[in-house]
Structure 1
Amino acid sequence: MNPKSAQVLELAKILERLATYTSFSASYDLALTLEPTPYLDEAEDRLQETTEARTLLLNHDHITIGGARDVRGDVLSAARGVILEPQTILDVRETLRRASTLRRLIQRLHHQYPMLATTVELLEECSALQHEISRVLDDTGDVKDSASAKLATLRRQMRVAFDRLQSKLSNIVNNSNNAQYLQETLVTQRHGRYVIPLKAPFKGRIPGIVHDQSASGATLFIEPLSTVELNNEWRELQLEEENEVRRILRELCELIGHESKYIVRTVETLARMDLIFAKAKYAEELVASAPELVGFRDAPYPHPGSTIHLFEARHPLLDPDMVVPIDVELDEDTYVLVITGPNTGGKTVALKTVGLLTLMAQCGLHIPAREESRLTVYSEVFADIGDEQSIEQSLSTFSSHMTNIITILDEAGPESLVILDEVGAGTDPAEGSALARALLDDLVGRGITTLVTTHHPELKVYSHEKPGVRNASVEFDLETLAPTYRLIVGLPGRSNALAIAERLGLPERIVTGARGLITEEDLIADDLLDEIHKTRDQIRQTEEAARHKFEEAELLRAELQERLDHIETERRELLVQTREDADTEMAELRAEIRRLRKRLQAAGQPLDVIKQIEEASAGLGDNFTRLPEPVARGDDRIGDDEPHQFRLGDLVWVATLGAEGQISELSEQDAEVMVGRLRVRAKLDELAYRSKSESKREKKRQRAEVGIGTRGAAQGKDTATTSVKSPGLELDLRGQRVEDAIPNMEDYLDAAYMAGMPFVRIIHGKGTGVLRSAVRDRLHGHPLVTQYERGNHKEGGDGVTVVKIVPQQ
């Protein structure tokens, strides 16, 4: 891409704003050097990456690359034999950790984010290197004692030597015989040796080596002769420790150097991923959308087959609360647009908006325009905008523009976009107009997509008559004497000079005189343009009113549909609730009848009286059972003729498990469901959607059934519960002794069998392995167990045993 044109269109300012959303220096530099691609496939891939990143960050807002560092120079230095600082080594580890976390997360969601998953495949985890760094260094960058056996021994010896040295010095300074010689009763350091402060007049009273003196000369810092050997021993151990630490760091850096090419690739991939995330964040800030990118279509010569369809486009560098959106749509026959209108009316902003949004899209950035926008991917974008008068090169405004235009004409081709502002300006109007028409003739004849602005009225007629060229204009409000900044494609700009002068108070005789000097053809054309603009405004107002009516109708329709859906849901919930209440009351009534029966038998009532009571209770039961049947649980969905479209986070009923869960991953054929802490992969036709109200109602029903069964068992041995409550998919035995855990597991397996569960998970932890062995020994040959195995790494590995239950006959 032409760098000067990119600068004129202010792409650099966009990239500077983009760079502020990056997380570390490598991606920051990548953002500042981002260039538009001239290739359609690459541009589409870039946009798709940004789209996927926006969705990913919306659903997983905790994702970050913060903590990564640009360690490429450091690891290359390590490859050359340089010993890195411990903190730099920790930066290498933290960068690799970020890469590992990001790679695992996105690859787990590769069905939803295929482009990002392809990118993170380039990330190298270097797990062995991460482990070695963690083994050698602690989080503060200090080498651990356990880094080597020799280092552990040296540091243990250092502590012993240090304690002996400090003990000896403490005895000297605390000796009452030495108190009169000492300036203070303390031990300090000078030049790496431990010394005591001796008063200068008492030099020699305590034999020792003088290492320093105070500024006043009143105090001498001496190393007592009795501690010289201890100091020497401690210092020698220090030197040995430093050598051992250096050796350990050298070996660690050699390992880093060996992995340098993988680390460099990881940093570059992290920078690319961070740039994609920065594009997504910037798109959210701009409230932008992804345009549809298209190639050059087949079109009659000389039309290049380009497409520019921008709707509600906004310049991204202007205040979003103040900028007026514009629509720029070139029909299939048009590839050159000539924009006319008054100064400060928004012509230049319109040109810059089209050019800048084109460059942004080819950089992979979402653009501030409606989703329906479509743009061609150009091999080059050329722009000549603004006053580039150069005093140093003795170039006038006209000369400067001509120099740029000559360069553009030499380099532009049918797959280029050319943007020219105020073409033919800065010189004699007649010559400028002729030159502008000649330039446009050349660009039109060569089939180059072109956008130009001009003040020359002759170009209005030219644009109307020339095939492939179309007029456009910026609106001007004569009531407020201010531009509206709206771009109107299809109509040239009107001459507003006389109308503005009249409204500002110029004497009517002068305005009338000026009007008389204008040719009748020009006046008629201006009146026709005025009438066309008024008609266009009326049509636009009519369309706006119709659009508002349509939106109101859509809102009303949606409201009515929601009310209908709620009515149907409430009806079904009412039927289910009524049925459950009836079941509960019936169970309580039967229990009461059984109690009365026992009391009548105890009182010696005749059998015919007892039979009458039983017949009456049976009649009551029949009345209860005549209630309408509710829709079967698990299938209670609105609109049974239309299958539910599952989404992430939906509550569903897993028929094969007889349990409720939440969708955590979703593909076209199946889904991953979280049932408690267990992940289950199931086909979509095995799942039934559950609303939150249905979920609460089902839990309430299960509690009621368990309560009825408990009361029935207490009131009579002949009472049986129609369903058995599931004991849950997991049993946690951690912290229990073997003699307590095994009976608990037996009870749990019985309950799981009665509930018809296909499998369960026994959590016993890893620990010493005693509980795990006891659990698996008991499961071996158990009558209710068909098979058992260790859990996978997601389920807990050796800390969990998955048990398959014998199916009920």
Structure 2
Amino acid sequence: MSSSGTGSHMSDTEKALKDTLELLEWPRLCEYLSKFASTSQGCRECKRLSLPLDVSASRQRLAETMEIGALDELIEGGLSFQGIHDLEDTLFHCFKGGVVSGEQLLEVAETLSSARRLRRQIDDPQVRPVLTTLLVDLATLPELEKLLKFGLEEGGRVADRASERLRDLRQKCQRLRLDRRAVLHELLRRNAPIFQDTAIGDRSGRPVLALKVGATDKLAGIVYGNSASGNTVFIEPHAVIPLGNKIASIETEICNEEHRLLTSWSKEVGENFSSLEHLGKVMLQMDLALARTRFGKWIGGVPPTLYEEFDSPFMFRDLRHPLLVCQQLNSQGPVVVPVSLEVGSTVRVVAITGPNTGGKTVTLKSVGLAVLMARSGLLLPCVESPSLPWCSQVLADIGDEQSLQQNLSTFSSHITRIGRILQAVEDVEGPSLVLLDEVGAGTDPSEGTALAIALLRNFADKARLTIATTHLGGLKSLKYSDSRFENASVGFNSETIQPTYRLQWGIPGRSNALDIARRLGLDSVVVKNAEDLMGPKGLEDVDNVIRGLEEQRQRQQIAAEEAAALLARTELLHDQLISQWQKQCLQSEEMQEFGRKKVENSIRKGQKEVRSLIRRLRDVGADGETARRVGQRLRQLENDYQPAIISGNSQDWAPQVGDQVRLLALGKAGEVIAISDDGLQLTILCGVFRSTVCLADVESLDGRKPRDVKTVVNVKPLSASGPNPSVRTSRNTLDVRGLRVHEAEVVVEQYLRTNFGPLWIIHGIGTGKLKRGLRQWLESLPYVERVADAEQRDGGTGCSVVWCK
């Protein structure tokens, strides 16, 4: 969506797109996003964030956002891009044959090292397939990194070890410097009276002594100037001039050798330009993805679902204006009031009406920014899972009276911008979202209404969705003549003279000007005259109709909520009756013949009446009174049948192979896959977890206990001093694979409290986290003697054996 030109060279379409981004304050959102970038280039790219050109690119960005976000949560302290530098200028300079500084070359080495670390953390085709694909052709050039780090010290200084010649020259230069300093100190010692002080100064890189102004004839040398007071002359003694000349000559050789090395290393960087440039782009792409996910979590965002189909619906639940959310989080401002939108596939135009300051413009901007954010791979400040069609462009004409940069409130400005929007819709393929604020305003109401209707019908033919705010009453009736139109309004409390900022769908907003004027104390005579001028008495009062619709909508909403609650309770009772009937059918025919027939007749009668109640609640004409009567009858049915349901919970229950049971220790359901010969031990499969438990440790899913629980006994050795069994069996083996550490502890403790002898615990190898957690816990128990790995035939390191004291 970025423009390719500026000023007069921009087309109408490009101007319309540019105006839209400014009106929706997209650059301000990008500024917030840039604060979450980890690198300087990432920050720069966030501020000028580009919009993908197709739905696959948008989905790619969203997948990157979600994958790197999950990884960022797993790593303690989060994913770090420390050491990644902006190499664009350095690489270009080296590619052109230039020589860069040691500090710049060291940044190249640090970037290679950090990129290698990030690749190790990110590379996982199973968990992060999208990000891993980006790393396929990534070259981190370890040899180049080693070369640069060997030849450069911290700060970019060329190290002595970089070459023998450099080392020898520096050592020779250092010896000469020491010799020169010794000569100067000797001069200071022998001629102390003629010097102002004993410090050795520096002038133009040459050592000088502070000689008293009257003693210049007592020490030969080169004068480099006087002090500000004129009492001191700075002179380089002749005795050290030859040494200084030699040092200068060697320093020149040192500089030439350093330049030779930097030239060689810069050439190496230039020869790897393509690999380094690609690495920089991948690291930038990763940094942008991380910035998107951290920004999304900061605003409480959720991932949207993007559809390719033109007529896909817009679904936003509790959408909050992203910039207002940022403002609230930054300054602890007021809570942002959300809006919910559900625009069906056949709706093309939504007309939002209502009073000023009610939130109409905020709604427009919220939707526009949400569409741009979804296209850019950002998370949306909504709840649940928002969905929308991928829009090739968002076009807006929003008059902002608070803008100091442009005057967009005049009729001519609106028409100019709308003309560009019409052209953009014609020029660009794909679904378009058009946002119009106060369409048709700024001119004669009748002409403005006619123009607005014509515009909206045109957009209904060409754009995927147009949302327009208006005060023109003529637009409120379009819904009733064209199914592509829908009405919405912002709520207003006439008692408090305050907007509610809530968006109401299906009904237009009514004018509140006279109500506001009356409550603000305007002369009642003026208000009464205004009401008389509203229209002839015999004509239908549109505001009264709208008021009646609002009241009816509230009543229907309350009735619908009550009916939904009753329907849920009724269907639950229906399910309970069906379940009870099925249980009765399974009982012995000889023992339950008389009672079964009686209960079946009663249940069938109850089912018939419950189904009748459900049909009454589902009827389109059901109202509050219907719901109330159904509720009364439902409570009677509950009282009549509840005792039978409760009494039906037989305690005479025995699990069979294939039954679903609940493990009391874990509170989880599992399947019975085997039963011991005596019926007292069950093998349960709970997900990937398999364990053998006592019959008393399970119950049915509906809460029934197994029969003969009291007969269950724990087999113990005949003598405490007898030898413990050393053979692994199904009874002394627990399989805890797939459980968390604390869940496995519960299962193991349950066994240890009811059994004796060694216990084999199968925990698998995996990452070792489960094994380490169990070992640490077992070793802390006072009644555990020791824990060791099982023998190889019993599982080796994937199984631990526990001996109790």
Query: Is the structural similarity TM-score above 0.5?
Result: yes
How far off is 1:636 after superposition? Answer: 5.1
Q: State the partner residue of 1:68.
A: 84
Q: Using the alignment, how far apart are the partners of 2:424 and 2:381 within structure 1?
A: 30
- Give aligned-pair identity as a percent: 33
1:53–1:280: 8 Å Cα contact kept in structure 2? yes
Question: Relative to structure 1, is the Cα distance of residues 266 and 753 closer, same or farther in structure 2, using a 3 angstrom cutoff?
Answer: closer
Separation in 2, partners of 1:143, 1:548? 78
Does structure 1 retain, via aligned residues, the 8 Å contact 2:348–2:464? yes
User: Per the alignment, do residues 396 and 196 of structure 1 end up closer, same or farther by CA in structure 2, a change over 3 Å counting?
Assistant: closer
SS in 2 for 1:317: helix
Q: Structure 2: which amino acid aligns with 1:635?
A: D
Q: How far apart in 1 are the matches of 2:744 and 2:38?
A: 33
Distance 1:247 1:3 in 2: 50
Q: Is the 8 A contact 1:86 1:141 kept in 2?
A: yes
Larger displacement relative to structure 2 (230-239 or 389-398): 389-398
Matches within 5 A, 1:447-596: 448-505=464-521, 515=531, 518-519=535-536, 523=540, 525-540=542-557
Aligned partners of 1:135 and 1:257: how far apart in 2?
A: 19
3-state SS of 1:328 partner = strand
After superposition, residues 40-439 of structure 1 pair within 5 angstroms as 40-60=55-75, 61-107=77-123, 109-121=124-136, 123-175=138-190, 178-297=191-310, 305-319=311-325, 320=328, 321-386=334-399, 397-413=410-426, 415-439=431-455
Aligned letter for 1:532?
L
Q: Quick one: structure 1 residues 331 and 189, their matched pair in 2 at CA, closer, same or farther if it must change by over 3 Å? A: closer
Aligned residues: 622
| Structure 1 CA distance for aligned equivalents of residues 148 and 392 of structure 2 | 48
Aligned match of 1:39 in 31, 36, 54?
A: 54
Q: What is the alpha-carbon root mean square deviation over aligned residues?
A: 4.3
Shift of 1:91: 2.0
CA distance in 2, matches of 1:699, 1:92: 50
Please tell me whether the aligned partners of residues 412 and 448 of structure 1 are also in contact (alpha carbons under 8 angstroms): no
**Are the equivalent residues in 1 in contact too, given 2:734–2:761 (CA < 8 A)?**
no
Change (3 A) 1:411 1:521: farther
| Cα distance between partner residues in 2 of 1:130 and 1:521 | 89
8 A contact 2:665–2:746 mirrored in 1:
no
In the aligned structure 1, how far is the partner of 2:288 from the partner of 2:485?
A: 39
Distance 1:244 1:545, change over 3 A: farther
1:725-769 per-residue CA deviation (whole Å, 9 max, x = no partner) reads 459xxxxxxxxxxxxxxxxxxxxxxxx99999579xxxxxxxxxx
Partner of 1:302 in structure 2? none
Residue identity opposite 1:455 in structure 2: H
Structure 1 unaligned blocks of 5 or more: 298-304, 552-560, 580-616, 638-643, 664-671, 676-688, 707-723, 728-751, 760-809
Q: Please, which moves more after superposition, 152-161 or 507-516?
A: 507-516
CA distance in structure 1 between the aligned counterparts of 2:404 and 2:521, rounded to whole angstroms: 40
Question: Is contact 2:437-2:468 (8 Å) kept?
Answer: yes
Partner of 1:673: 767
**Residues 391 and 353 of structure 1: CA distance in aligned 2, closer, same or farther (over 3 Å):** closer
CA contact (8 A) 2:316 2:382 kept: yes
Contact 2:439 2:470 in 1 (8 A): yes
Provide Cα deviations, 1:451-481, integer angstroms capped at 9, x if missing partner: 1111111221122221211111111112211
CA distance in 2, matches of 1:691, 1:673: 10
Distance 1:265 1:136 in 2: 25
Deviation at residue 288 of structure 1 after TM alignment: 0.7
Taking the aligned partners of 2:763 and 2:254, their CA distance within structure 1 comes to: 57
> What is the identity, as a one-letter code, of the residue corresponding to 2:34?
A
Q: What's the CA shift string for 1:190-226, capped at 9, x where partnerless?
A: 3333343333433343444444444444434444444
Counterpart of 1:132 in 2: which secondary structure? helix
Q: Which amino acid aligns with 2:339?
A: I
Runs of 5+ consecutive residues of structure 2 not aligned to the other structure: 2-16, 329-333, 569-660, 670-680, 682-690, 695-716, 748-759, 799-805
| One-letter amino acid of the counterpart of residue 106, structure 2 | L
- Cα 1:662/1:97, change in 2 over 3 Å: farther
CA distance in 1, matches of 2:219, 2:723: 112
Distance 1:357 1:755, change over 3 A: closer
The alignment partner of 1:279 has SS state of helix
1:21 maps to what in 2? Answer: 36
Q: Is the 8 A contact 1:389 1:397 kept in 2?
A: no
User: What is the one-letter code of the residue matched to 2:387?
Assistant: R
- Aligned residue in 1 for 2:20: 5
Quote the offset at 1:236 in angstroms: 2.6
Aligned partner letter, 1:21: F
Letter in 2 for 1:164: D
CA distance in 2, matches of 1:214, 1:480: 81
Decide whether aligned partners of structure 1 residues 633 and 10 sit closer, same or farther in structure 2, where only a CA change above 3 A counts: farther
Q: Deviations over 1:476-505 (max 9, x none)?
A: 112211111111111111233444444445
Question: How big is the shift at 1:384?
Answer: 0.9
Alpha-carbon offset, residue 134 of structure 1:
0.8
- The 2-side partners of 1:444 and 1:410 are apart by 15
Partner of 2:453, secondary structure, is helix
Change (3 A) 1:412 1:155: same
Could you list the per-position Cα deviations for residues 760-791 of structure 1 after superposition, in whole angstroms to 9, with x for gaps in the alignment? xxxxxxxxxxxxxxxxxxxxxxxxxxxxxxxx
One-letter amino acid of the structure 2 residue matched with residue 163 of structure 1: L
| Contact 1:293–1:375 (CA under 8 A) maintained in structure 2 | yes
Contact kept, 8 Å, 1:652 with 1:662, in 2: the verdict is: no
Matched-pair contact (CA < 8 Å) for 1:136–1:147: yes
Q: Distance in 2 between matches of 1:461 and 1:756?
A: 77
Following superposition, the deviation at residue 410 of structure 1 comes to 2.5
Q: Is the 8 A contact 2:316 2:341 kept in 1?
A: yes
TM-score (ref. length: structure 2): 0.68
Question: Aligned partner of 1:428: which letter?
Answer: D
Residues in 2 aligned to 1:229 and 1:133: alpha-carbon distance in whole angstroms: 37
> 1:392 and 1:618, CA in 2 relative to 1: closer, same or farther beyond 3 A?
closer
CA–CA separation in structure 2 for the residues paired with 1:331 and 1:754: 63
Question: What is the CA distance between 1:399 and its match in structure 2?
Answer: 1.6
Q: Distance in 1 between matches of 2:320 and 2:663?
A: 38
CA contact (8 A) 1:338 1:453 kept: yes
Q: Deviations over 1:551-589 (max 9, x none)?
A: 9xxxxxxxxx999656799xx9xxx9xx9xxxxxxxxxx
Q: Structure 2 matches for 1:603-642, cutoff 5 A?
A: 619=719, 632=732, 634-635=734-735
Residue 227 and residue 500 in structure 1: after superposition, are their counterparts in 2 closer, same or farther (change >3 A)?
Answer: closer
* SS of equivalent to 1:357: helix
Q: Is residue 437–residue 469 contact of structure 2 (8 Å, CA) maintained in 1? A: yes
